[in-house]
Amino acid sequence: MAQAVVRDIDKNDPGRGLDLRKLGMWTFLGSEVFFFGALVVTHLSMRGVVAPSSSKANLDVTGVRNLFGDNVLTSILAFILLTSSLTMVLALDGVKTNNQKRFRFWLGATIACGVIFLGGQVYEFYHIVHEGVTIKNMMFGSTFFFVTGFHGTHVAVGVVWLVSLLVSAIRHPERYNAGNYMAVELGGLYWHFVDLVWVLIFTVIYLI
Amino acid sequence: MAHGHDEHAPIEHEAHHSHAKLYVIIFFILLVMTGIEIAIPIINKAEIVVKQVEVALLLGLMTIKGAIVMMFYMHLKGDRRMFGTLFVFPIVCVLLMMLGFFALFQPELW
């Protein structure tokens, strides 16, 4: 019986039509959803726990929102990440249509957006820490920095990933083309996921 | 070149049809929705609607935005259903968990 099952599996197509790299990526992203979900709900349950009155911390959740006006900085960051999703999908469109110039241009634009986002987040963290909220002096700070910091780490990983794709595309022109774009598609899926997480963080942490 | 008419083309694979226009339209839809999201808490400072309605609106917009990104930018629309299941099931779990935590720890939002 077992032998019959083994015989039925085509050795050249073990995924039975499914691209295993893509399947692996979607499985990984699914597990990441649980990871970020756990972090966000922890923040939701702990964000009311601010520093004791003896602490020099001046901010609570409302204070963080109002630190740069009504979420002005985070709204700009949301716009940048949203734009990067467009540029990423245009880069994939470029490689799928065999337009190497367009592919490289939009991939470079996506990387630029990612770097600007990270710069904005560092700027925000600097000001929040300056107001006395740190990762270790109260639960609000701990959970806030964990959620936004892990998201920032994912953006940084995405930037490194896209830079490696761009370098590879420049060093080996025509490596990625209409018949071979899976590496770009996987990078794109990861990048869109990072944008998706920001959609969640922006609404739940900064707006609600 | 794209459709194999150019004999000197270095790429033999047939190019796909471009969807750039659709992606730009989707971007503007997401942009408008984000603008509405940002505006809601500012407008509602005057407490035009109760906080619960504001939260429901924000969560609704967030869910629609996420669904649009998944369907069009991550190409779940038209891709294998298995990929969608792998990704959407955890999202549904997380959204339910989030609502539960809102109810438990921030009852004033209910």
Cα separation, A205 vs A61, in Å, equals 8
Cα separation, A20 vs A23, in Å, equals 5
In a domain, B61, yes or no: yes
Name every residue whose Cβ is closer than 8 Å to that of residue A167 and which is 6 or more positions away in sequence.
none
> What pLDDT digit, counting tens, does each position of A126-166 carry?
988 888 888 887 888 888 999 999 999 999 999 999 999 99
In a domain, A195, yes or no: yes
In a domain, B86, yes or no: no
Complex confidence, ipTM: 0.86
In a domain, B33, yes or no: yes
Q: B62, A204: Cβ pair inside 8 Å?
A: yes
Choice between A170 and B8, residue whose per-residue pLDDT is larger: A170
Q: B37 lies in which domain range?
A: 20-80
> What pLDDT does residue A131 have?
82
In a domain, B39, yes or no: yes
Choice between A134 and A168, residue whose per-residue pLDDT is larger: A168
- Angle, vertex CA B14, rays to CA B10 and CA B20, nearest 5: 105
CATH code, A97: 1.20.120.80
The rounded Cα A86 to chain-centroid distance in angstroms is 14
Q: A49 lies in which domain range?
A: 20-207
- Range 44-73 of B in CB contact (< 8 A) with A: 55, 58-59, 61-62, 65-66, 69-70, 72-73
CA distance B7 to chain A (A): 15
In a domain, B70, yes or no: yes
- A41 to chain B, any CB pair closer than 8 A? The answer is yes
In a domain, A11, yes or no: no
| pLDDT mean over B65-83 | 92
> What pLDDT digit, counting tens, does each position of A1-30 carry?
555 555 565 666 656 677 899 999 999 999
In a domain, A201, yes or no: yes
> What pLDDT does residue B13 have?
67
> What pLDDT does residue A137 have?
78
In a domain, B72, yes or no: yes
The answer to whether residues A125 and A67 touch, using CB atoms and an 8 Å cutoff, is: no
Q: B13, A33: Cβ pair inside 8 Å?
A: no
In a domain, A101, yes or no: yes
A44, A85, A97 ranked by CB distance to B15: nearest: A97
In a domain, A5, yes or no: no
Instruction: Examine the pLDDT at B4 and tell me if it is beyond 70.
Output: no
Please tell me the total count of domains within chain A: 1
pLDDT band at B9 (very low <50, low <70, confident <90, very high): very low
- Judging contacts by C-beta atoms under 8 Å, the chain B residues touching residue A37 are 90, 93-94, 97-98
The answer to whether residues A33 and B90 touch, using CB atoms and an 8 Å cutoff, is: yes
> What pLDDT digit, counting tens, does each position of B45-72 carry?
888 888 889 989 999 999 999 999 999 9
Instruction: Examine the pLDDT at B33 and tell me if it is beyond 80.
Output: yes
- A100 to chain B, any CB pair closer than 8 A? The answer is no
Cα separation, B67 vs B91, in Å, equals 10
Cα–Cα distance list, B31 to A53, A72, A79, A137, B68 (Å): 41, 15, 7, 36, 12
In a domain, A4, yes or no: no
* Tokens linked to A97: 């249509």
Please tell me the total count of domains within chain B: 1
In a domain, A12, yes or no: no
| pLDDT mean over A54-78 | 73
> What pLDDT does residue A128 have?
87
In a domain, B85, yes or no: no
Contacts A–B by Cβ distance under 8 A: 147
Cα–Cα distance list, A26 to A57, A178, A189, B7 (Å): 41, 22, 8, 38
